[in-house]
Amino acid sequence: MSILIDEKTKVIVQGITGRDGSFHAKQMKQYGTNVVAGISPGKGGQEIDGIPVYNSMQQAVKETSANTSIIFVPAKFATDAIYESADSGIKLIVTISEGIPIIDMIKITEYLERKNIHIIGPNSPGLISPGKSKVGILPAQIFKKGKIGLISRSGTLTYEIVDHITKSGLGESTCIGIGGDPIIGMNFIDCLKLFEKDQETEAVALIGEIGGNAEELTADFVKQNITKPVVGFIVGKTAPPGKRMGHAGAIISGGSGTASEKIAALEEAGISVANQPSEVATLLKSKL
Amino acid sequence: MKIHEYQAKKIFSKYNIPTPTEILCYTPQEVKQATLKFNENVIIKAQVQVGGRGKAGGVKLAKNPDEAEQFGTQILGMNIKGLTVEKVLVSEAIDIKSEYYVGITNDRNSKSIVFMVSSAGGIDIEEVAKTTPEKIYKLYVNPFDGGLFDFQARNLAFKIFDDIKIVRQVAKIIQNLYRCYIENDASLAEINPLVLDKKGNVLALDAKINFDDNALYRHPDIEKMREILPDEEKEMEAKSKGLSYIRLNGNIGCMVNGAGLAMATMDLVKLYGGEPANFLDIGGSSNPQKVIDAMNILLSDKNVKAVMINIFGGITRCDDVAKGLVEALNTLKVDIPIVIRLTGTNEEAAHNILKESKLILATSMAEAAQTAINLTKN
């Protein structure tokens, strides 16, 4: 097993004729992901690397029975792309696009929740269940099928940590980049619930950063509900308050959302917190 | 994005949120002239995009035009938390009966918009939230459902007022503030304090609106209000080049791909006893021009004594990145040591390219950080 995606996942790429969309559609397909269609209004009937292109999600889902979509369209059009995906019968929407307005995301998450549709992101690198499926932009070669579940608010930092986990011999069941924005779809807790039930996952790594209090809430949740070992890592200890550290969500505001508060909350919940990226793998090993 | 109080009040008046009569002034003479128009006591308020200006002496009550001019001289040019006061707002003095707080912001956890009202107005609301959270009433609303219903606005007003005449005024202000928030893609809209004057009128004595940077593309009128603060000049310059940069006080310049890894790099420098000079995320591409731009920004900080480049190759090939880096660095005159850690696809080929250059190669983040720190000590 793994969570959210596996070899049965059928993926549609929204924005497949764009630079990133076409590149990553090809990468995903090469990895073995079942990419069944791409969307680009006005370009229906074409093919990109053997992937049929459709004008609308509705048509593509009808023809291919896809259950997952990945969105590469620019932020200005991403809101519409998400609604289109939601109305087509898709069950999991992975949003790579960065820069979607916050109020749009507030409305979207409400709408999707009512329709019981999962959304990952926005501003996410996507997710991968090594050896089964990749729905995202993560570099496949650093992953190896294994027993660690990983949830992260970041992209390249995740790769750095995964590289150590793989080299340590542990490997990963599923790795999810939940996105660096303030309002996101699936959060740490949503993913942890799935990892707790997943037989393949034996321990979970949480990669957090400054801003908001998701890590604090997660710490509390882990203490009450999670039986598997959990290891944490938080970045932004040196970040000055009031400054947006790249990610829209990574900002210390009104004195809250600091790294030290998050680390304290995680440790208080019995979660070991790494001091540097390489230590995440070491801590995970010591727990198994 | 932040704006000044006077700008926020202009937006408020578009939404029929009552504010005192005010005049924006740039010189002490203008302050005097403005005071003559009011024919009564005036308040002179420094316009700076930072909290705590009252405590810093940036808000004064003047009883006559001469006194107003004197205060104008004092406040204009004053330094408040590193910012120079260039404008003041001259406002009619309101006979205040009581002060309240009304604010709207986004709530990450409930994924909704949260209203906050409190009778503890006029003071630091973050402090109230920490010490006496029971004094703040909250209401969560999702705009997907067609906004804020009148009964919700009224009930919020009833939390802080009993008199129905006043409740009606406040409910209207809350509704208008909500419209202002949604229509302008704000990330914070705050009236602190909202005051009840001795005549029974409610008005916004202060105004604060922050905007969602992601949504500015659909609000060109708001983008025009942007005032770049001195410490933000480099950040804006970087942004225009597709880079994300924030200057700190250390001496180790950091250049990293990805925001999370950039923060992790800074933290690591600190962990090994060094001080990072900046946050700098060059994003995903290996475009040589981006590296040149990034290096120029790093080197504009004269405190920087060594540079640490940390790139996790990911999908882009490391040898391409290495070629770009060497090409970029050849066009620049750099006389400080540069330590580089580059990993990912085609790592070995990349290292062979870099061996020929002046760059100091490290195989891990930790090694790169330690090497850079040692070099600043020599």
| Pairwise CB contact (< 8 Å): B260 & A154 | yes
Q: Can you say how many angstroms the Cα of residue A119 is from the centroid of all Cα atoms in its chain? A: 9
Nearest to B142 among A106, A155, A156 (CB): A106
Mean pLDDT of chain B: 92
Does B106 contact A at CB distance below 8 Å? yes
Contact B109/A at CB under 8 A: yes
Same domain, B246 and B370: yes
pLDDT at B92: 94
By CB atoms closer than 10 A (0-12, 13-18, 19+), residue B220 is exposed
A window 159-188, beta carbon within 8 A of B: 159-160, 163, 180-183
SS3 A129: strand
pLDDT for the residue numbered A64: 97
Which residues of B are less than 8 Å from A79 in CB distance? none
- Whether B191 and B256 share a structural domain: no
What is the structure's pLDDT at B126?
77
Prediction ipTM score: 0.95
Mean pLDDT of B342-346: 84
Residue B4 lies in a domain: no
Looking at the domain A139-287, which fold is it?
A: Rossmann fold (3.40.50)
Distance CA B21, CA B332 (A): 55
Q: Are residues B301 and B207 in the same domain?
A: no
CB contact under 8 A, B365 and A237: no
Q: Is residue B3 part of a domain?
A: no
Residue B9 included in any domain: no
Residue B36 domain-assigned (yes or no):
yes
Task: Give the structural domain span for B104.
Answer: 96-223
Looking at the structure, do residues B178 and B309 belong to the same domain, yes or no?
A: no
pLDDT band at A94 (very low <50, low <70, confident <90, very high): very high
Residues B237 and B324 in one domain: yes
* B312 domain-assigned: yes
- Report yes or no on B10 lying in a domain: no
On the question of a common fold for A10-120 and A139-287, the answer reads yes
pLDDT at B325: 82
Quick one: pLDDT band at residue A182, thresholds 50, 70, 90?
A: very high
Whether B77 and B101 share a structural domain: no
Q: Which residues of B touch A183 (CB under 8 A)?
A: 106, 108, 111
Confidence of residue B378 (pLDDT cuts 50, 70, 90): low
Interface of A with B in 216-255 (CB under 8 A): 217, 235-240, 243-250, 254-255
Cα–Cα distance measured from residue B291 to residue B284, given in angstroms and rounded to the nearest whole number: 11
Lowest mean pLDDT among A92-96, A277-281, B219-223, B350-354: B350-354
Question: Does B81 lie in the same domain as B156?
Answer: no
pLDDT of A196 above 80: yes
Statement to judge: residues B104 and B84 lie in one domain: no
What pLDDT score does B329 carry? Answer: 81
User: DSSP strand E in chain B: where?
Assistant: 22-25, 42-46, 59-62, 79-80, 83-84, 88-92, 96-107, 112-118, 136-141, 186-197, 202-204, 208-211, 244-247, 252-256, 278-281, 306-312, 338-343, 360-362
Q: How many domains does chain B have?
A: 3
- Judge: A155–B313 Cβ closer than 8 Å, yes or no: no
Least confident residue range of A23-27, B196-200, B349-353: B349-353
| Confidence band of B230 (pLDDT split at 50, 70, 90) | confident
SS3 of residue A204 by DSSP = strand
- pLDDT at res. B276: 98
Residues B344 and B309 in one domain: yes
**Cross-chain residue pair B257–A246, CB shorter than 8 Å:** no
Strand spans (E) along chain A:
10-14, 34-39, 47-48, 51-54, 68-71, 92-95, 118-120, 126-129, 133-136, 145-152, 172-177, 203-209, 230-235, 272-273
Per-residue confidence band for B40, with pLDDT thresholds at 50, 70 and 90:
confident
User: Is B11 contained in some domain?
Assistant: no
Q: Please report the pLDDT score of residue B285 as a whole number.
A: 63
Domain boundary among B92, B113, B132: B92
What would the mean pLDDT of B12-33 be, rounded to a whole number?
97
Q: What is the mean pLDDT of residues A253-276?
A: 93
Indicate if B342 and B354 belong to the same structural domain: yes
The closest of A131, A138, A210, A208 to A173, measured between CA atoms, is A131
Distance CA A106, CA A95 (A): 15
- Could you tell me the maximum CA-CA distance found in chain A, to the nearest angstrom? 56
**Record: contact B364-A278, CB cut-off 8 A:** yes
- Co-location of B112 and B127 in the same domain: yes
Q: Of the candidates B223, B240, B267, which is a domain's last residue?
A: B223
Q: Which of B1, B111, B130 to mutate to test the interface with A (most CBs of A within 10 A)?
A: B111
B276 forms bridges with which residues in the sheet? B252
What residues of chain A, 74 to 93, have a C-beta less than 8 Å from chain B? 75-76
pLDDT in tens, B84-141: 999 999 999 999 999 999 999 999 999 999 999 999 877 777 788 888 888 899 999 9
A3 min Cα distance to partner chain B (Å): 23
Please report, for residues A4, A212, B232, the alpha-carbon distance to residue A110 in angstroms, rounded to integers and kept in the order given. Answer: 20, 19, 35
CATH of the domain at B27: 3.30.1490.20
CATH number of the structural domain A10-120: 3.40.50.720
Give the confidence band of B291 by pLDDT, cuts at 50, 70, 90. confident
Cβ(A150)–Cβ(A165) below 8 Å: yes
Nearest to residue B304, comparing CAs of B336, B282, B332?
Answer: B336
Nearest by Cα to A167 from A149, A142, A145, A150 = A142
Q: Are residues B59 and B106 in the same domain?
A: no
- pLDDT above 70: percentage of residues in chain B: 99
Model pLDDT, residue B358: 87
B19-49 burial, b at 16+ Cβ within 10 Å, e below that, comes to bbebbbbeebebbbbbbeebeebbbbbbbbb
Q: What is the pLDDT of residues A225-238, one digit of tens each?
A: 999 999 999 999 99
Report pLDDT digits (tens) over A70-81: 999 999 999 999
Q: Which of B54, B70, B92 is the last residue of a domain?
A: B92
pLDDT of residue B266: 98
In the numeric block, which tokens belong to residue A183? 């309002």
* B317-346 mean pLDDT: 85
Minimum Cα–Cα distance from B129: chain A residue: A254
Q: Kindly state the average pLDDT of the residues B317-333.
A: 82
Average pLDDT, chain A: 96
| Mean pLDDT, residues B143-153 | 92
pLDDT of residue A35: 98
**What does the domain layout of chain A look like in residue ranges?**
10-120, 139-287
How many Å apart are CA A250 and CA A273, to the nearest integer? 19
Q: Which residue's structure tokens are 């990034």?
A: B294
A141 shares contact with chain B (CB less than 8 Å)? yes
